[in-house]
Amino acid sequence: ALVISLGSEPGGAVDPSVVYNTVSGEYLVVWAALEGMDGHEIFGQRLDADGDPVGVDDFQISEMGVVGNSYRALNPRVAHNSLHNEYLVVWWGSDDQGGLVEGEYEIFGQRLDASGFEIGVDDFVISDAGDIGDPAYAAVYPDVAYNPDRDEYLVVWSGEDNVGGLVQDELEVFGQRLDATGREVGINDSRISEAGGTGSPAYSVYGSRVHYDSDRQEYLVVWSGEDDRGALLQCEFEIFGQRLDGDGVELGADDRRLSFMGGTGNCDYGAYFPASAGEVIVWEGSDDAELSVGEAEIFGIRRPEAPMFADDFESGDTLGWSLTSP
């Protein structure tokens, strides 16, 4: 087995993400790890085509707060900009910059050149869940996709906000477009999902993923969540998806249901933690087809070749693949 990083004791290296650099023919792996006595930070390692480390070993990407603090950075994701041959790394965490306070979780980003060196603004803030200085609202678990047609990114996350009738503990999926320099463009913290309507914290979403389709010039965002439509129960988690055009405007069916774990109206089975939104959408879950309650497998659906989901996301039967989390 290839060991990329041993991490920092006692926490080790967790939550890895990897992207392939089509220009240099190498990979960038990022992860979170404890940095000495401080909280978690984000680290990275370049790998050549054979998986051998190149460049600086386990280089640090984030720097949340001052040394010796309890601020942290978690769950990084990374995208490669093929036009400029650089990377954008995003994560959620807490920092002491710009009026932020301890326990106030937002989405952050850092651009890296092809060698892994930081460029542009350091640890810039992407989201603004609630008001600055208010830890009552949070933005967590981001993902990022690069759009080469516009030379920009779309960052998505799960979180709360206090705008548009939303209330505390009402988790939804949000998105923010960024230009190639990391500057925000378009609508600020645009709401993508609508789990259970507006103003009710009874329904939640988790673990959003985003993919850009150059052929269709559109995004697909997927997530795990609850909803009150179609006879679904509050405790019934399924995978949902939303198509977006290049401006982030919704296309097609709203919050289309993708998974059917245990049928409808059954809380004993569910779909969680989507791992991708690309050619194949995969997630961890349990189903009533030859599985016992509490038995988890990996499931997936293939993306139709054309058009991308059109008015219906379904693509054949879901498949149980393995016992490993995606």
* Residue 326 lies inside a defined structural domain of this protein: no
Q: Confirm if 174 and 113 have CB atoms less than 8 A apart.
A: no
pLDDT digits (tens, 9 = 90+) for 311-325: 333 334 444 443 334
Strand-pairing partners, residue 54, are 46
Report the pLDDT averaged over residues 2-15: 60
Q: Residue 41: pLDDT band by 50, 70, 90 thresholds?
A: very high
Quick one: average pLDDT of 71-95?
A: 97
Q: Does residue 4 lie within any of the structural domains?
A: no
Has residue 145 been placed in a domain? Answer: yes
Does residue 1 belong to any structural domain of this protein?
no
Q: How many domains does the chain have?
A: 1
Render pLDDT for 42-55 as a digit per residue (tens, 0 to 9). 999 999 999 999 99
The answer to whether residues 119 and 91 touch, using CB atoms and an 8 Å cutoff, is: no
* 161-200 residue pLDDT tens: 998 888 888 899 999 999 999 999 999 999 999 988 888 8
Question: What pLDDT is attached to residue 200?
Answer: 82
Residue 24: pLDDT band (50, 70, 90) is: very high
Torsion angle defined by CA atoms of residues 93, 103, 226 and 292, in that order, rounded to the nearest 10 degrees: 80
Q: Which of 234, 265, 264, 240 is nearest to 254 (CA)?
A: 240
Q: Do 205 and 197 touch, CB atoms closer than 8 A?
A: no
Reply yes or no on whether the pLDDT at 1 is more than 50.
Answer: no
CB 64 within 8 A of CB 94: yes
Give me the domain span that covers residue 144.
13-320
- Whether 173 maps to a domain, the answer reads yes
Res. 27 pLDDT band, cuts 50 70 90: very high
Backbone region of residue 214 per phi and psi (left: phi > 0; alpha: psi in -120 to 50; beta: other values)? alpha
SS3 57: strand
Query: Is the pLDDT assigned to residue 81 strictly greater than 90?
Result: yes
Is 205 inside any structural domain? Answer: yes
pLDDT band at 3 (very low <50, low <70, confident <90, very high): very low
Q: Is residue 2 domain-resident? A: no
175 strand-pairing partners = 156, 190
For residue 26, give the CATH number of its domain. Answer: 2.120.10
- Nearest alpha carbon to residue 191 among 206, 205, 173: 173
Residue that wins the pLDDT comparison between 214 and 288:
214
Q: How many other β-carbons are positioned within 10 Å of the β-carbon of residue 267?
A: 13
Q: Is the pLDDT score of 273 beyond 80?
A: yes
Say what percent of the chain tops pLDDT 70. Answer: 87
State how far the Cα of 240 lies from the Cα of 314, in Å rounded to an integer: 11
Which residue has better confidence, 18 or 261? 18
What's the chain's average pLDDT?
86
Average pLDDT for 273-302: 83
Reply yes or no on whether the pLDDT at 141 is more than 90.
yes
Expressed in angstroms, the distance from the first to the final Cα of the chain is 18
Q: Could you tell me if residue 152 is inside a domain?
A: yes
